Amino acid sequence: MMDERRKAILRVVVEEYIETAQPVGSTHVARAPHVTVSPATVRNDMVALEQDGYLHQPHTSAGRVPTDKGYRFFVDTLVQPGPLDEDELQQVGSFFAKAHGALEEMLHDTSRLLSGLTDYASVVVGEPPEDATVRSVQLVGLGARHVLVVAVLSNGAVTKAHLELADEIGEGRLAAATTHLSRWLIGAVLGDLPPVPPSGDSLVDAAGAAAVSALRSAAHRPDPEQVFVGGASRMAAAFDAVDSVRRVLGILEQQYVVVGLLRGVLDRGLSVAIGGEHGVESLLECSVVVAPYEVEGEVAGAIGVLGPTRMHYPKALAAVAMVSQRLGRRLSDDA
Amino acid sequence: MMDERRKAILRVVVEEYIETAQPVGSTHVARAPHVTVSPATVRNDMVALEQDGYLHQPHTSAGRVPTDKGYRFFVDTLVQPGPLDEDELQQVGSFFAKAHGALEEMLHDTSRLLSGLTDYASVVVGEPPEDATVRSVQLVGLGARHVLVVAVLSNGAVTKAHLELADEIGEGRLAAATTHLSRWLIGAVLGDLPPVPPSGDSLVDAAGAAAVSALRSAAHRPDPEQVFVGGASRMAAAFDAVDSVRRVLGILEQQYVVVGLLRGVLDRGLSVAIGGEHGVESLLECSVVVAPYEVEGEVAGAIGVLGPTRMHYPKALAAVAMVSQRLGRRLSDDA
DNA sequence: GCTGGCACTCGATGCTATCGAGTGCCGGAC
DNA sequence: GTCCGGCACTCGATAGCATCGAGTGCCAGC
């Protein structure tokens, strides 16, 4: 039975708790504008909200704290991604106005921007380049049996892989292999590379095969050079137990967990995972706000913000939405 | 007046404090083996050590804590880089046995290894590739006026830069520019690229000039893709004030500060900066242990460990020395 | 159904007493 | 002279205790 008054009360509790990190009492709630009833009435409703699982009482004679369910309701029905402040808008604007340089640099800076806007940790992940096409392939010798494959993709990324061949291969053969591969691979979609027919030279074919298999495996995992985590130090400020900080940092250091996290949450568009919802045990006290960004209509990656469950959702939602949209637009008109 | 007994006392205080993080009292010291005098005598010596600036007393009636000067003396004259444990040695061994893949991957994993060994944050930085020679240069078009220069260097690194040209340039012209640049740049030392003579085509020359200048500027700054900071979460465990953690993390996030820090400390070989010695204000409570690694006789980068001033120096020194040596050897026989 | 009133809870705060690890110093022994 | 035992003293840490007050639940009355 969630009538308007209870919604209002829940909203005040959540907002107040996000601000102060202190359990919120009935008197505080009653003093808020838009709540016109007395503390006693608020108390009655709070009991109901607690029974329904939206609020929690740390101990008798303490105020109430939102549960994950409470935050969820708040995010789903009580909050519209409030607009950004004037100067934050300007910050985003001027960032994208002067952003330049390579894709990686841009994603990296975007991560800093997001942390700066929200004061939480931020994550920026490029999608695996399955749909990108190959613009260039080259084999470069580094020593007797060591070869580097370097491929430039249509999205501006550069994939490289280190090959160790069974036999030595000379410069001439490498050049031949490069030419041969280029003929068959340039223009192909990375996630669906065509078979490369034999060239008649077994050494060339061996190198080619190694290169193709390296590229194939690069197609399906996000380039580790396109995963950026920023603002971890800001997380420290949000928690007061050193131990929590340690746990969260530990997760942020494991890029594959972070990438999985974003993937998991990113069902459709802008979304939020609160507390336990994302299923990463060490991040029970954290929420994640994520949005994909699209380059020329295709999802090209995701950006997100990781903060405490009591994060400032309206602001985080607004920032993530804004930045993902601008980033996508920026990367589109650039290509 | 630093006689043998005082050295022994200082050593015990430092070792004890590193272990327990508690001020060390005279009774504790007197109980240690190798100290054969009574607590009273220890106290007298402690007063002297304090007057000479090696120890500090947080307050009357507390034990003594080493000062930076005390740690310095400890590191310089009381400690020989103790050998690693058996299983740590094995850990390093098996790491380098199965290490493989591209340069960046290797450096990244090395950073993890170091954090794992020491339980502190670790930093791995590749040197700016000034001395590397160019193995391959290529220009790849990404859109009307956008071009990517990709150069492969003799050290296995791949440098790329994004160019925005004044005029559109077609595929044919780009290929011509690539050929032209290759003729003049392949084999050249990156830090001392020769002038590229005009080709007779102004568009080609414009692209070439832009590419060369991008490469030149890449020569002198360490590739941001070759800076790896790992194990930040382990720092959190070493401090108990959230605020300290925050400060240190903030620094670790600023790669240029970290790089500068390593540079500054890296006078000659294995070295240590304690507390204030490295001149980074937010890291007053931290020490850094650094060593260069050499590939084929040339310094190719540096690795280091960042921990609290009360870090376990013998272990850190041993780990850094061992890993830098093995890393260098590994990268040498590979090339 | 809302509200004011009221007794009750319980963490937080502050005070005091006590404890004990540690110190400095002094006077005596080797 | 150097070392050591003894002793009074300091002072942070810990524990106990009273107090405070924000907050609650409940009930009777409007």
pLDDT in tens, B210-243: 999 999 988 887 777 789 999 999 988 888 888 8
Q: How many angstroms is C1' of D5 away from CA of B36? A: 16
Give the one of A102, A242, A250 whose C-beta lies nearest to B245's C-beta. Answer: A242
Kindly report, residue by residue over B109-126, the tens digit of the pLDDT. Answer: 999 999 999 999 999 998
CA A151/CA A214 separation, integer angstroms: 11
For residue B162, the distance in angstroms to the closest alpha carbon of chain A comes to 5
Radius of gyration of chain B, Cα coordinates, nearest whole angstrom: 26
User: Which nucleotide shows the minimum CA-to-C1' distance to residue B41?
Assistant: D3
pLDDT tens across A21-47, in order?
999 999 999 988 888 899 999 999 999
A132-188 tens-digit pLDDT? 899 999 999 887 788 899 999 988 888 888 888 888 888 888 888 999 999 999 999
Range A288-304 average pLDDT: 91
Query: Which residue is listed with tokens 């009935």?
Result: A26
State the CATH number of the domain containing residue A302. Answer: 3.30.450.40
Residue B148 sits in the same domain as residue B215: yes
Q: Do A115 and A228 belong to one domain?
A: yes
The pLDDT, as a whole number, for residue B126 is 87
Condensed to tens digits (0 to 9), the pLDDT of residues B302-313 reads: 999 999 999 999
pLDDT in tens, A61-106: 899 999 999 999 999 999 876 677 888 888 889 988 887 777 888 8
- In this prediction, residue A323 carries a pLDDT of 94
Whether residue B215 sits in one domain with residue B161:
yes
Chain segment A104-121, per-residue pLDDT in tens:
888 999 999 999 999 999
Q: What is the layout of strands, in order, in the sheet containing A286-295?
A: A227-230, A121-126, A298-308, A286-295, A271-274
Q: Answer yes or no: do A229 and A290 share one domain.
A: yes
Q: What is the pLDDT of residue A334?
A: 57
Chain A residues with CB-CB distance to B138 below 8 A: 136, 138, 150, 152
Report pLDDT for B185: 92
Share of chain A above pLDDT 70, in %: 98
Cβ contact A204:A136 at 8 Å:
no
What are the strands of the beta sheet with B271-274, ordered from one edge?
Answer: B227-230, B121-126, B298-308, B286-295, B271-274
Q: Among A264-268, A290-294, B67-71, which is the least confidently predicted range?
A: A264-268
User: CA of A43: how far to CAs of A2, A11, A20, A38, A283, in Å?
Assistant: 15, 15, 20, 9, 31
Best of B135, B148, B149 to disrupt the A interface (most A CBs within 10 Å) is B148
**What are B128-172's pLDDT values in tens digits?**
888 889 999 999 988 778 889 999 988 888 888 888 888 888 888
Cα→Cα distances A42→A8, A23, A24, Å: 10, 15, 11
Do A196 and A231 have their domain in common? Answer: no
According to DSSP, the residues that pair with A295 across neighbouring strands are: A298
- Note whether A326 and A305 are same-domain residues: yes
Same domain, residue pair B121 and B259 = yes
Say which of A138, A142, A249 has its CB closest to residue B232: A249
- Cα B48–Cα B52–Cα B53 angle in degrees, nearest 5: 120
Asked whether the predicted pLDDT for residue B276 surpasses 60, the reply is yes
- The predicted structure's pLDDT at residue B334: 57
Task: State the total domains in chain A.
Answer: 3
| Residues B307, B235 contacting (CB under 8 angstroms) | yes
Q: Which residue of A has its CA nearest to B152?
A: A140
Considering only alpha carbons, which residue of chain A is nearest residue B332? A143
Displacement of CA B35 from its chain's centroid (Å)? 37
Any strand C atom closer than 7 Å to A36 CB: yes
In angstroms, the CA of A279 and the C1' of D21 are apart by 40
Q: Which residues of A touch B247 (CB under 8 A)?
A: 233
Enclosing domain of residue A52:
4-78
CB B125 within 8 A of CB B227: yes
Q: Which of B104, B108, B152 sits opposite A140 (nearest CB)?
A: B152
Asked if B228 and B124 touch (Cβ cutoff 8 Å), the reply is yes
Residue B25 CA to residue A18 CA, distance in Å, equals 45
A297 compared with B72, residue with greater pLDDT: B72
Beta-carbon contacts of A19 under 8 Å, excluding residues fewer than 6 positions away, are none
Written as one string, the DSSP assignment of A40-64 is HHHHHHHHHHHHTTSEE-SSTTS-B
Q: Are residues A292 and A262 in the same domain?
A: yes
Return the residue in A242, A283, A330 with the most chain B beta carbons within 10 A, the one to mutate for interface testing. Answer: A242
- In this prediction, residue A284 carries a pLDDT of 92
